[in-house]
């Protein structure tokens, strides 16, 4: 742990680590987050090994940015040297709208406002509130675009488990959640229990993927994934095998999540910004 993050140098009056954690969790819920966990910073060694194996198999395809900043991905102190606690949040984005049978389907996550802005705005509000209480507090907000392993932190914080489709599944909201982190420079009470993997023998997501992108439980070959082909790939044309199995998807794909039993009872989100923008569920191809 970096020497410049000594707790003794901070002015954090009037609360123990347990009390501070409870206050921060309560404020996060007030700001609209649906799940919150707090964990101690650590080197994500096992997760780094899995990432390196995935990259070595070429499963990242043309996403060269996945090969950059690899040390930062498993080391929170490289992102924020003063890190003493990692606050991990999940925000339900499910809205009870359905795709039509027409081509032009857009992934549910992109129906409403940009989640980077929504989650980031809430985390920045949380950090500002923390600084008001404890002026010596500092932190860093991470929402996807920073080289942090969001899913790994969510699992460590007890928000859910990693599903066979490689998305984090929560008991309350299934995998219809966005994840973010707030790295803080002081100690808090930490979550010490993980949620057990509850996928069991289910293989619905593997069986339903029309392109066979989930090559084995918990492992996705991006090069076969419809979401990769319609969002991340910069190739002039979509691969013929994927194009023949698009099933109407224009931007992203939700098939593996749509069939997941844990996603059948997700309550609608109370975040209005995730309501679909006009014509964004099934936009006209014309």
| Residues recognised as catalytic | 144
Q: Measuring CA to CA, how many Å separate 213 from each of 194, 200, 205, 261, 276?
A: 27, 20, 10, 19, 27
The single residue listed with the structure tokens 């991905």 is 73
Three-state secondary structure call for residue 274 = helix
Beta bridge partners of 88: 37, 181
**Residue 39 backbone phi and psi in degrees, to 5:** -130, 155
Q: Please return the burial class of 65, using the count of CB atoms within 10 Å of its CB with bins 0-12, 13-18 and 19+.
A: exposed
DSSP 112: S
DSSP string, 35-81: EEEEE-----HHHHHHHHHHHHTTTTTT-GGGGSSHHHHH-HHHH-T
**Residue 154 backbone phi and psi in degrees, to 5:** -65, -40
Pairwise CA distance, residues 192 & 40, whole Å: 9
Pairwise CA distance, residues 137 & 128, whole Å: 10
Q: How many residues does the chain have?
A: 286
Report the alpha-carbon angle 93-111-253, nearest 5: 90
Pairwise CA distance, residues 207 & 258, whole Å: 12
């Amino acid at each position: 742990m970096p020497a410049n993050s000594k707790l003794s140098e901070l002015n954090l009056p009037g609360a123990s680590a347990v009390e501070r954690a409870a206050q921060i969790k309560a404020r996060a819920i007030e700001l609209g987050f649906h799940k919150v966990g707090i964990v101690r910073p650590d080197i994500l060694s096992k997760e780094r090994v899995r990432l390196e194996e995935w990259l070595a198999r070429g499963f990242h395809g043309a996403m060269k940015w996945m090969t950059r900043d690899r040390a930062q991905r498993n080391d929170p102190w490289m992102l924020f040297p003063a890190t003493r606690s990692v606050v991990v949040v999940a925000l339900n984005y499910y809205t009870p709208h359905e795709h039509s049978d027409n081509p032009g389907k857009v992934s549910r996550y992109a129906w409403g406002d940009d989640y980077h802005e929504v989650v980031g705005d809430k985390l920045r509000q949380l950090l500002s509130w923390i600084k008001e209480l404890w002026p010596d507090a500092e932190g860093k907000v991470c929402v996807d675009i920073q080289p942090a392993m969001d899913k790994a932190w969510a699992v460590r914080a007890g928000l859910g488990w990693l599903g066979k489709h490689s998305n984090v599944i929560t008991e309350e909201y299934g995998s219809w959640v966005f994840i973010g982190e707030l790295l803080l420079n002081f100690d808090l009470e930490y979550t010490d229990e993980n949620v057990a993997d509850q996928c069991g023998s289910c293989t619905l997501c593997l069986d339903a993927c029309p392109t066979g992108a989930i090559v084995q439980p918990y492992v996705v070959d991006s090069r076969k994934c419809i979401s990769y082909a319609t969002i991340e790939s910069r190739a002039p044309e979509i691969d013929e095998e994927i194009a023949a199995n698009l099933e109407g998807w224009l931007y992203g794909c939700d098939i593996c999540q749509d069939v997941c039993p844990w996603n059948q009872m997700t309550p609608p989100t109370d975040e209005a910004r995730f309501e679909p923008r006009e014509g964004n569920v099934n936009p006209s191809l014309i």
